[in-house]
Amino acid sequence: MEQERMDIRSQTLEELTVLVEELGEKRFRAKQLYQWLHVHRAETFDEMTNLPKSLIGKLKAHTALTVLRQEAVQVSAIDGTRKYLFSLPDGNLIESVLMRYQHGNSVCISSQAGCRMGCRFCASAIGGLVRGLTPAEMAEQVYRIGRETGERISNIVVMGTGEPLDNYENLLRFLTMMTDENGLHISQRNITVSTCGIVPRIRQLADEKLQITLAISLHASNQKTRRELMPVAEKYDIPELLDACRYYFRQTGRRVTFEYSLVAGVNDSDAGAEELAKLLLGMNCHVNLIPVNPVKERNYRQPDRRRVHDFKNKLEKYGINVTIRREMGRDIDGACGQLRKRYMGSVDPGLHEDETDGGLG
Ligand code: SAH
């Protein structure tokens, strides 16, 4: 059986340098190749016109070039938000979103196909985990959207389907690629990674001392409510989680963001806001309130606007930094993961037709 091919868009520049030399070519070709993969965001080897034919032939023979295929896009008439459905080389489907802000374009990417964290309010949890995405598959979401719109992408949020810290090695490689000065060179400060709270991985990430923003999906002010909403809370309790966040701040100097999805009658009371304020008191942090996005399969409702504002005011009284998340693409909404869910089963899960050029085995 043929050995699995090297996924060329998942390699660092150093690794490409080793590869190019092994293939009997000059080292400087690695940098040219890296630029084709990560600056020009090439879809085929044949585009790489400044590489010698001999090298292109060897790359086609020995490596695979991951390219995502756009299956659908929904465009918001209100704010131009674009929600993409992509298929991966093995036919799995994922969602990504382009949001246009005053300060620049932000892409929200998926880190896994499906998710095994099981949060009760989340549409992505319903089908369970299929698999983690490769670094190339994460990068390709940014690249395809950049190429399709012809616009510069300045921010990345890892807040789509999946738990990024459950795909740790690939996530780190992706972050390295996005911020590499030989690639798109996105500033670390313009990247946010959101986690449901896998404590040992938060500590590990802190030790990498990156300047990225860590967002924690907290969603509750006490252990009992958090357990009801998020199975991960059975494994790590709130004090442990907040300790890991303090450690993250100490190691990186970066203020942590807490996401708090408000669910009517579950976690949106004034007493809840007070409890939350007391938990976070003295922490260098920011709270992002998100009225829960109703999911067809789940029974959760948004509080009314008054309640959301009262909750915010209560937190502010304790000196906590709070924002209410601006809803982007309201008209194309439906909770995260819903576009993918709707399409699952309706798209041929076979391999891409046009991938022979990329040499996928
Ligand atoms: N697994 C990571 C990142 C993906 S989810 C995490 O848990 O943080 C991105 C954010 O959307 C998380 O804060 C998640 O809790 C939230 N979310 C998921 N479904 C939601 C819904 N129906 N309404 C509001 N927020 C939701």
Say whether 64 sits in a helix, a strand or coil: strand
Quick check: CB of 170 below 6 Å from ligand 1? no
Distance of CA 359 to the CA centre of its chain: 27
83 vs 67: CA distance, rounded Å: 18
Distance of CA 225 to the CA centre of its chain: 26
Nearest-atom index, ligand 1, CA of 336: 19
Q: Is position 108 annotated as part of the catalytic site?
A: no
Quick check: CB of 196 below 6 Å from ligand 1? yes
Nearest-atom index, ligand 1, CA of 163: 1
Q: How many CB atoms lie within 10 A of CB 250?
A: 10
Centre of ligand 1 to C-alpha 143, Å, is 23
39, amino acid identity: V
360 vs 68: CA distance, rounded Å: 13
**What's 27's DSSP letter?**
T
Closest-CA residue, ligand 1 atom 17, reads: 122
Q: What is the pLDDT of residue 358?
A: 28
Contact 177, 139 (CB under 8 A): yes
Closest-CA residue, ligand 1 atom 24, reads: 292
pLDDT tens string, the chain, 361 residues long: the values are 456 899 999 999 999 999 999 999 999 999 999 999 999 999 999 999 999 999 999 999 999 999 999 999 999 998 889 999 999 999 999 999 999 988 899 999 999 999 999 999 998 888 999 999 999 999 999 999 999 999 999 999 999 999 999 999 999 999 999 999 999 999 999 999 999 999 999 999 999 999 999 999 999 999 999 999 999 999 999 999 999 999 999 999 999 999 999 999 999 999 999 999 999 999 999 999 999 988 777 789 999 999 999 999 999 999 999 999 877 777 786 555 666 766 665 443 333 333 222 222 2
Contact 229, 266 (CB under 8 A): yes
Distance of CA 186 to the CA centre of its chain: 15
36 vs 20: CA distance, rounded Å: 14
Q: What is the pLDDT of residue 2?
A: 55
Tell me the pairing of strands 69-75 and 63-64.
Answer: unpaired
- Dihedrals φ, ψ of 158, to 5°? -95, 80
How far are the Cα atoms of 67, 68, 302 from residue 134, in angstroms, in the given order?
12, 12, 35
Say whether 111 sits in a helix, a strand or coil: coil
Q: How many CB atoms lie within 10 A of CB 132?
A: 20
Q: Is position 119 annotated as part of the catalytic site?
A: no
Region for 36 from its dihedrals, namely left if φ exceeds 0, alpha if ψ lies in -120 to 50, beta otherwise: alpha
Quick check: CB of 293 below 6 Å from ligand 1? yes
Contact 99, 106 (CB under 8 A): yes
**Given the residues 25, 43, 95, 140, the one annotated as active site:** 95
302 vs 111: CA distance, rounded Å: 27
Nearest-atom index, ligand 1, CA of 291: 24
In this prediction the pTM is 0.93
190 vs 203: CA distance, rounded Å: 21
Say whether 185 sits in a helix, a strand or coil: coil
